[in-house]
Amino acid sequence: MSLVELIVQADERGLAASGLACLDRCVPLLGGDDDVLRPLWASLTDGEEWEVRLAKARSALDTAEVDDDEACVLARRMLGAAPAVLPQSRESLIGTPEAAQLREWADACSVAALQIHRILDVTEDGATSVTSRREGSTDAMSPLVAAELRRQITILELLSVHGASGLRQALDVSTEGRRVLRAVVSRRARGRV
């Protein structure tokens, strides 16, 4: 199943985790530490205080010095577009404007994260856009984009199969991706000096 199909089929928790995971992997571009979004992951588990925790994360990341290059701008947009309302454990948002906003955010985060990885990869990606990657085309894919695509698919599959109990594994997958991106960002910064 393609990434696009997985996003279409995801429930609210899966969408929220997918969007958050994309943002979490891109935190190195925002100048944040590895735990800055951890409270938001907790909100996906306990269903509480998303809005408050999101405001704190935005505040913490707004104070960081960030480049104005395209990759950093895309990461900032992901954070800025994060929805204030998420489903509670006993409340479904299906069919509401909030559900549509959540799906739109998760989809935009997916595109942005793939585009960020494409920008930062020293190897040229063979596709003209990330759209074909999301639809399943993997010919001549650059290594960073391929790894990001695998992570996004894995997270959606974990949550589809395991529901809330898959959140810990999804966080682990995202943490691995954040470490990779942090190393890439660090190498890029050293190359500019």
User: What is the H or E stretch that residue 158 is in?
Assistant: helix 143-162
- What confidence score (pLDDT) does residue 65 get? 65
Number of domains in the chain: 1
Q: Is 11 exposed, middle or buried (0-12, 13-18, 19+ CB in 10 A)?
A: middle
User: Tens digit of pLDDT for each residue in 2-23?
Assistant: 999 999 999 888 999 999 999 9
Q: Are 23 and 75 in contact (CB under 8 A)?
A: yes
In this prediction, residues 55-64 reach a mean pLDDT of: 87
Which phi-psi region, left, alpha or beta, contains residue 42 (left: φ > 0; alpha: ψ -120 to 50)? Answer: alpha
Q: Is 95 exposed, middle or buried (0-12, 13-18, 19+ CB in 10 A)?
A: exposed
In this prediction, residues 59-63 reach a mean pLDDT of: 85
User: Tens digit of pLDDT for each residue in 135-184?
Assistant: 888 788 889 999 999 999 999 999 999 988 999 999 999 999 999 999 99
The Cα–Cα gap between 164 and 46 comes to 10
Whole-prediction pTM: 0.91
Query: Is pLDDT of 95 > 70?
Result: no
Segment of 70-74, 125-129, 139-143 carrying the highest mean pLDDT: 70-74
Query: Is pLDDT of 30 > 70?
Result: yes
- What confidence score (pLDDT) does residue 94 get? 58
- Domain of residue 147 covers 3-192
